Amino acid sequence: MNFLVEQSKRLELIEAILKRYLPKETGEQKTVIEAMNYSVLAGGKRLRPMLMLESFRMFGGTDKVIEPFMAAIEMIHTYSLVHDDLPAMDNDEYRRGKKTTHAAYGEAMGILAGDGLLNYAFETACTAFSSVEEENGQKGLSEINAGYRRIAKALEILGKKAGIYGMIGGQTADIEAADRQIGEDLLDFIFELKTSALIEASMMIGAVLAGAPEKDVEKIEQAASKIGRAFQIQDDILDVTGSVAVLGKPVHSDEKNNKPTYVTMYGLSQAAKDVDTLSRQAMEILQTFEHRNLFLEELVLSLINRKK
């Protein structure tokens, strides 16, 4: 397997899915739709939909029910960036070398585009229900009910991990941590909710929609939690050691906002060690399932060890 070739194949698939699910830019509300699409299509690693797809495949999933959820998780990730960049939040004018949404469309449209994306994420995920009864009588009732049950469970996970018991909760704690001395427990809480939660949602939803048993969904949640932490610690490392050219955003941007980071708390060498430990632990969990997904394993390692 050539990892980079395989990765670019998946990236192409994901971009096509995103474009298919994004709303058309028409009507009197066109501006907010343009701002939404601008935000989603501004680029990114598409990490979350890719992890979702690969987790789905690892548990034997093959059908299209996963696609609206792949689009939805990327919309949620994107809206969180759009609102995070607002003047009242991190006040960032550039992201990935492009103007942020509020910088390009004005602050009011930045707020509405974020709201629009969050709402549209749930709308999009709900379209998965239409696939349950699509085959027109070819399925038995208990199979149909199992289909509904899986999508309902996936929606529940999406909502919980994106909301106040997930990402929004982490952002709240993160904002309140600025300009303060915080302890290790609180930094841990912030990493878990702000970064890991959506990665957990991605991988869990993949597993649930493929029909994985509950104990496997729990294990995938644990693996994803570790992947998210390692990813965030690496982010903090890169914030110190990277360069503007490579990262597409100012280095030391967290320091600028007086936010505590893993590196300021533990030092660079301990941070690097912990990334290593967490990624090894995540790998071990992934290798306990009946089927391995070698691409998923390489993907996780590449994310954790990334240089940008």
Shortest distance, CB of residue 254 to a copy of itself, whole angstroms? Answer: 16
Q: Alpha-carbon distance 98 to 129, whole Å?
A: 36
23 binds a copy of itself per the rule CB under 8 A? yes
171, 225, 232, 279: which one contacts a copy of itself (CB under 8 A)?
171
- Residue 132 to residues 90, 154, 158, 214, Cα–Cα distance (Å): 41, 14, 19, 21
Q: Alpha-carbon distance 14 to 91, whole Å?
A: 29
Please choose, out of 107-115, 205-213, 256-264, 292-300, the segment that lies near a copy of itself by the rule CB under 8 A.
107-115
Beta bridge partners of 95: 98
Shortest distance, CB of residue 290 to a copy of itself, whole angstroms? Answer: 28
Helix ranges restricted to H, 22-106: 30-40, 47-58, 66-84, 101-105
Shortest distance, CB of residue 28 to a copy of itself, whole angstroms? Answer: 4
6, 7, 13, 129: which one contacts a copy of itself (CB under 8 A)?
129
168, 238, 240, 268: which one contacts a copy of itself (CB under 8 A)?
168
> In angstroms, how far is the first alpha carbon of the chain from the final one?
23
244 binds a copy of itself per the rule CB under 8 A? no
Q: Mark 51-80 with x for binding to a copy of itself (rule: CB under 8 A) and - for no binding.
A: ----------------------------x-
Shortest distance, CB of residue 20 to a copy of itself, whole angstroms? Answer: 17
Q: Alpha-carbon distance 227 to 211, whole Å?
A: 22
Q: φ, ψ for residue 95 (rounded to 5)?
A: -145, 130
> Quick one: CA torsion of 124, 128, 130, 136, rounded to 10 degrees?
160
123 binds a copy of itself per the rule CB under 8 A? yes
Shortest distance, CB of residue 211 to a copy of itself, whole angstroms? Answer: 17
Shortest distance, CB of residue 223 to a copy of itself, whole angstroms? Answer: 24
Q: Alpha-carbon distance 134 to 144, whole Å?
A: 10
122 binds a copy of itself per the rule CB under 8 A? yes
Structure tokens at 186: 């609180």
What is the CB neighbour count within 10 angstroms for residue 175?
15
70, 71, 162, 247: which one contacts a copy of itself (CB under 8 A)?
162
The beta strands (E) that lie in 194-293 are given as: none
Closer residue to a copy of itself (CB): 126 or 244: 126
Closest CA to 161 of 192, 188, 129, 186: 192
Residues that bind a copy of itself (CB under 8 A): 23, 27-29, 31-33, 36, 79, 83, 86-89, 106-112, 114-116, 118-120, 122-123, 126-127, 129, 133, 141-142, 144-145, 148-149, 151-152, 155-156, 159-160, 162-165, 168-173, 175-176, 186, 189-190, 193
